[in-house]
Amino acid sequence: MKKITIHTLVQLALLVAVEIVLSRFCSINAWNTKIGFNFLPTALAAILYGPFCAAIVAALGDFLGAVLFPIGPYFPGFTITAFLTGLLFGVFLRKDPSIFRICACVAVKELVLGLLLNTFWLSFLYKSPFFPLFLSRIFPQCVVLIVIEFLLLRVLVRTVRVHGRGLLT
């Protein structure tokens, strides 16, 4: 693992702050659906710094956002999902983020982490039956976000390729 400098820590802290703002103030939230752009800072951390840093950005962003600006009750399951999302982005986007890898990343994130795992957390948290909740989250949550995330991640990857590490400086 590379040595983390103060400069890197500041950049990661800025990404955590941006993740909190995008998640809490620039997203559509209902009790069972959340559509937003808070995946972008995590993806940028994954591309620039790898899976571990991206996982920390995502988990800290979720935890601090839930504590500072609660939308509902804090539940650690969503922080686990955020951490896994950062790891996933790091594995798929860190090296050679091709169109296939972006597609695979978005599919796994939305279908496994978003649809299955977060639906399980919601079902557990609100004591709601899993299958009806699962069905209600397929279209607005999954289908819409798969398209949005693929397009925006493609743009982000191209931008990072052009500007490199100088993107945050």
The whole-number pLDDT of residue 110 equals: 93
Which of the four CATH numbers 1.10.1280.10, 1.25.40.10, 1.10.3720.10, 1.10.1760.20 does domain 6-167 have? 1.10.1760.20
The whole-number pLDDT of residue 31 equals: 62
Residues 6+ apart with CB under 8 A from 82: 42, 58, 59, 61, 62
On the question of pLDDT at 2 being above 80, the answer is no
> Which phi and psi (to 5°) does residue 168 adopt?
-95, -5
Which helix (DSSP H) or strand (DSSP E) does residue 40 occupy?
Answer: helix 39-49
The whole-number pLDDT of residue 150 equals: 95
In tens, the pLDDT along 92-147 reads: 998 888 999 999 999 999 999 999 999 999 999 989 999 998 988 888 778 888 99
Domain ranges of the chain: 6-167
Closest CA to 109 of 79, 149, 78, 138: 149
